[in-house]
């Protein structure tokens, strides 16, 4: 009852060799007589034998486990993508180990090392800048790895991410169409050149230009979450205040909502608001929030599928960048009173 059963116990009980039990476990029934097969089967169920995956992994040099390192689990995006990844992995007999690097490159590095020591068969990562060397080495060894959400300068590997410029384009166009003219964009820190932030700002600029509107640098703000209040204060103290804001993600949205709430700024009327990333309370907020949604489920599904394919077929292929289309969910936070919506 207490000691764990091994293949040797099964072999003894079934009066066959360990090899035969192993063949059975690996469903190589062609190597086995009908009668042997049932004997092994019975021995296994009588002993309640459970194979030891660790031993198998050591021998097979493959763990059927992948690692997922996410830059910041607090984004709803992360959680959703992870669920999709897990679904795909489960369907393929793979386990996932999820790690949250907390936007900290050292933590990320430690996780990479731990995961590799655990012999995971591949890695999905939302990379934080700072571990270029580590990734480069892995990639050169043709170790299976797929990036998510962010590109890394100087690293050439399969990546799944949003068409971020298109996201901003959707946001800006919608705001313009609804009568807003002075559109600001607010996002988290820009110092590390994090792909979505940079691209969203680029898309913002280019769409404004395409509409003949001058880009005002003071309307573009990248700042840490904990200094958002001051940043928004500055924005709203401008001589020329913005009449609409694009929020870079769900976490910045919370800061903006807190600010407007505390300062009695009425969303929709005093200020138009559109946020990238759909949020659970979007529909029931007052006013309901216009959002730009990412197809998180498909994105998760695709990264996992790509990674599993790489693991199964180690042939080197040219890396490709997979862009996903954002979509706009129009609600009332971008509806000026008296201006007809599209």
Partner DNA sequence: CTGAAAGCGCTTACAG
Interacting residues with DNA (CB under 7 A): 4-8, 15-23, 25-26, 30-33, 35-37, 49, 51-52, 55-56, 58-61
Closest distance between a second copy and the C-beta of residue 293, in Å? 17
Select the binding partner of residue 116 from a second copy, DNA, none (C-beta < 5 to 8 A, by kind): a second copy
Select the binding partner of residue 83 from DNA, a second copy, none (C-beta < 5 to 8 A, by kind): a second copy
- Give the 3-state DSSP-derived string for the chain, with helices as H, strands as E and coil as C: CCCCCCHHHHHHHHCCCHHHHHHHHCCCHHHCCHHHHHHHHHHHHHHCCCCCHHHHHHHHCCCCEEEEEECCCCCHHHHHHHHHHHHHHHHCCCEEEEEECCCCHHHHHHHHHHHHHCCCCEEEECCCCCCHHHHHHHHHCCCCEEEECCCCCCCCCCEEEECHHHHHHHHHHHHHHCCCCCEEEEECCCCCCCHHHHHHHHHHHHHHHHCCCCCCHHHEEECCHHHHHHHHHHHHHCCCCCCEEEECCHHHHHHHHHHHHHCCCCECCCEEEEEECCCCCCCCCCCCCEEEECCHHHHHHHHHHHHHHHHHCCCCCCCCEEEECCEEECCHHHCCCCCCCC
CA distance 340 to 335: 8
Residue 59 or 315: the one with the smaller Cβ distance to DNA is 59
Does 52 bind a second copy (CB under 8 A)? Our answer is: yes
Select the binding partner of residue 283 from DNA, a second copy, none (C-beta < 5 to 8 A, by kind): a second copy
For a second copy, the binding residues in 81-100 under the rule CB under 8 A are: 83, 86, 95-98, 100
Residue 51 or 179: the one with the smaller Cβ distance to a second copy is 51
Residue 132 or 213: the one with the smaller Cβ distance to a second copy is 132
x/- track of binding to a second copy for residues 198-237 (CB under 8 A): ----------------------------------------
For a second copy, the binding residues in 65-84 under the rule CB under 8 A are: 65, 73, 79, 83
Angle subtended by helix axes 195-210 and 164-177, to nearest 10: 40
Is 97 exposed, middle or buried (CB count within 10 Å of its CB: 0-12, 13-18, 19+)?
middle
Does 141 bind a second copy (CB under 8 A)? Our answer is: yes
Select the binding partner of residue 33 from DNA, a second copy, none (C-beta < 5 to 8 A, by kind): DNA
- Segment lying near a second copy (by CB under 8 A), choices 21-29, 115-123, 161-169, 299-307: 115-123
Residue 116 or 176: the one with the smaller Cβ distance to a second copy is 116
Closest distance between DNA and the C-beta of residue 237, in Å? 60
Residue 28 or 177: the one with the smaller Cβ distance to DNA is 28
The β-bridge relationship of strands 220-222 and 183-187 is parallel
- Segment lying near a second copy (by CB under 8 A), choices 215-223, 227-235, 277-285, 304-312: 277-285
- Segment lying near a second copy (by CB under 8 A), choices 163-171, 185-193, 226-234, 253-261: 253-261
Residue 43 or 276: the one with the smaller Cβ distance to DNA is 43
Residue 161 or 307: the one with the smaller Cβ distance to a second copy is 307
CA distance 329 to 167: 12
Give the dihedral sign, CA 253/256/260/263.
positive
Residue 40 or 170: the one with the smaller Cβ distance to DNA is 40
Interface with a second copy (CB under 8 A): 1-2, 50-55, 57-58, 63, 65, 73, 79, 83, 86, 95-98, 100, 113-114, 116-119, 140-141, 254, 257-258, 261, 279-281, 283-286
């Amino acid at each position: 009852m207490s000691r764990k059963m091994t293949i040797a116990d099964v072999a003894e009980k079934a009066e066959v060799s360990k090899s035969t039990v192993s063949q059975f476990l690996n469903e190589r029934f062609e190597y086995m007589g009908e009668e042997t097969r049932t004997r092994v089967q019975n021995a296994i169920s009588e002993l309640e034998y459970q194979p030891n995956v660790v031993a198998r992994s050591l021998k097979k040099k493959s763990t059927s486990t992948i690692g997922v390192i996410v830059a910041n689990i607090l984004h709803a995006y992360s959680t959703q993508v992870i669920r999709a990844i897990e679904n795909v992995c489960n369907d393929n007999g793979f386990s996932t180990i999820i790690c949250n690097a907390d936007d900290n490159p050292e933590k990320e590095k430690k996780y990479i090392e731990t995961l590799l020591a655990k012999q995971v068969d591949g890695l999905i990562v939302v990379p934080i800048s700072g571990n270029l060397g580590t990734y480069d080495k892995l990639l050169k060894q043709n170790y299976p790895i797929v990036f998510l959400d962010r590109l890394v300068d100087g690293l050439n590997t399969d990546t799944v991410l949003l068409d971020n410029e298109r996201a901003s384009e959707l946001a800006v166009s919608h705001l313009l169409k609804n009568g807003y003219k002075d559109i600001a964009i607010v996002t988290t820190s820009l110092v590390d050149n994090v792909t979505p932030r940079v691209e969203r700002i680029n898309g913002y600029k280019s769409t404004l230009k395409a509409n003949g509107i001058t880009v005002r640098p003071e309307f573009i703000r990248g700042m840490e979450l904990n200094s958002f209040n001051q940043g928004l204060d500055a924005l709203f103290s401008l001589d020329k205040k913005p009449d609409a804001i694009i929020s870079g993600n769900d976490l910045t949205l919370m800061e903006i909502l807190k600010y407007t709430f505390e300062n009695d700024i009425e969303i929709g009327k005093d200020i138009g608001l559109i946020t990238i990333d759909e949020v659970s309370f979007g529909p029931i907020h007052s006013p309901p929030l216009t959002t730009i949604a990412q197809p998180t489920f498909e994105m998760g599904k695709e990264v996992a599928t790509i990674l599993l394919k790489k693991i199964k077929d180690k042939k080197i292929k040219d890396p490709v960048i997979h862009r996903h289309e954002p979509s706009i969910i129009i609600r009332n936070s971008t509806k000026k009173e008296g201006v007809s919506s599209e």
